Amino acid sequence: MTLENKVALVTGGAGGIGLATVRAFLRQGAKVVVADVDEVRAKAAAEEVADEGTPGSVASVGVDVSVFEQVEAAVAAAVDRFGRLDVMFNNAGIAGGKPLLEHDPAVDYAPMIRVDQDGVYYGILAAGRQFRAQGGGGVIINTSSIYGEQAAELAFTYSAAKAAVISFTRSAAYELAHQGTRVVAITPGRVATPIINQFSPELRALFASELLRNTMTQPEEVADVVAFLASDASNVINGTVVSCDDGYSVFKQRFDLPTF
């Protein structure tokens, strides 16, 4: 598997799964643009990983994915810097939640929909148009979630947005197949990102117990899956959801078996 001569744009690339994927892409020989709403962090992340790829193989750009014009500009910046775009990883997202009946729609609904749902739509649209302009091809990978496939605690809006990402993925794969563009979604489970690492040890232990290995998934483990999906080795994976949840979705909880 290799990403040699591929150009990738990673949104939410300054931390968590995004930064781990930037590193994985660089190791596989890709040129990468780190895109993040925090332009200073994006630049710092690019400088941090600069020696992990070939010289001059990483750049950064600020982007608010909830604004289509900024997503278009980020794609244009990648093309200006490296000459083309081959991989779009729509990974930027925000989390949080509260009980539904305590929602303030302006706070608990609209912002998350704009980032987690609209941001992926904008990334698909901007990248798909760039791939068409290049003559076709390209891969779009979208970060959904285990919550996009089931109900969960305090996650009314987040689950809705992540479910939309799955629907976007299927529809975009169907619509863009004629130009040779693949579109895939991933559904991570409990990943040790800064968002989760801020919680108490007790809550993190509970999260780990929901996974088959009984340990939190590391961002690098998800990044390796994304790098595979971005490569030509996964050409037959298209329009589908790739679970990287360490079994979260296949069981509810462990318990001591009774004596029969």
Each of the 260 residues of the chain gets a pLDDT tens digit; together they read 699 999 999 999 999 999 999 999 999 999 999 999 999 999 999 999 999 999 999 999 999 999 999 999 999 999 999 999 999 999 999 998 899 999 999 999 999 999 999 999 999 999 999 999 999 999 999 999 999 999 988 999 999 999 999 999 999 999 999 999 999 999 999 999 988 888 899 989 999 999 999 999 999 999 999 999 999 999 999 999 999 999 999 987 777 777 77
Catalytic residue among 121, 122, 147, 158: 158
Burial 2-11 (b: 16+ CB within 10 A, else e): ebeebbbbbb
* 3-state secondary structure (DSSP) of residue 12: coil
- H or E element, residue 229: helix 219-230
Question: Among this protein's residues, is 158 annotated catalytic?
Answer: yes
Q: DSSP label at 22?
A: H
| Residues listed for the chain | 260
CATH class of 7-242: alpha beta
* Range 74-77 contact pairs with CB under 8 angstroms and sequence separation of 24 or more: 74/9, 74/11, 74/33, 74/35, 74/126, 75/9, 75/126, 75/127, 75/130, 77/33
Compute the 3-state secondary structure of the chain and give helix, strand, coil in percent, each to the nearest 5: 50, 15, 35
pTM above 0.85, yes or no: yes
- Domain coordinates of the chain in residue numbers? 7-242
